[in-house]
Amino acid sequence: MRAARCAAAYAVHIYTACGALCALAALVAAGRHDLRTAFLWLLLASVIDSSDGALARLVRVREYAPLIDGARLDDIVDYLTFVFVPAVLLLDAGVFPPNWGAPVAAAILLASGFGFARRDAKSADHFFTGFPSYWNIVALYLVAFGWSPVTNAVVVLLFVVLVFLPMGYVYPSKTPVLRWLTVTWCSLWGVQTLAIIWELPDVGRILLWSSLAFPVYYVALSIVLHTRRESDRGAPKGAPY
């Protein structure tokens, strides 16, 4: 029985590591200038990332596969799929002004490198600290909307700044407040994201703009809960709310 549980635990680690294979496949697709396929691979990586935690808890990987640090493995894969590959895709798509591409991509890599390395990157009360480096999503929307190169660069640099601001962002699958609404809506938004990728490069405006409803909800919920958390921290013990 223990051998079977150990095998299941290590299988979950392998499942997590498969996100790196998705990153490689996305890079290969980008090398062929096939952005649709590249984003599909990144979407699959996101599906793996959103499900491996629940599987890890189910099979108790810390108990039955203790030689592998699942959190560290997850961070390595996430940096590849959420940061490095999206930066490459943005360069490949040519969405930045001439001579701006490399510096802007470098800003993404450096900012998120520090973001991932923060000791408080994930708080005990289930928040991400600073913009959680969802560069795969930023890249998809920039490619889909087709804004001007200068606008794209400004948007990216704005998010780079947000990486360093110590605001808490909701951890969708763990933050208890409105968790089921968040997870359900996120899943539906994932379907919209798939539709956007499928329609590249000419994505319908109704689909694009309507798909922003969830990101707006996510940011609004994060701001509300972050403000409430900061207020609770500043309140004297025993003070009435």
pLDDT per residue over 52-70, tens digit each? 989 999 999 999 999 999 9
The encoded tokens of residue 145 equal 């909307």
Provide mean pLDDT across the span 121-129. 89
Instruction: Indicate if the pLDDT at residue 36 is higher than 60.
Output: yes
What is the model's pTM? 0.92
Q: How far apart are CA 56 and CA 16, in angstroms?
A: 9
Closest CA to 131 of 173, 156, 162: 162
> Packing angle between helix 85-93 and helix 35-59, nearest 10 degrees?
170
8-17: pLDDT as tens digits: 999 999 999 9
Q: How far apart are CA 68 and CA 73, in angstroms?
A: 8
**How would residue 236 be classed by pLDDT, with cut points 50, 70 and 90?**
low
- pLDDT on residue 76: 97
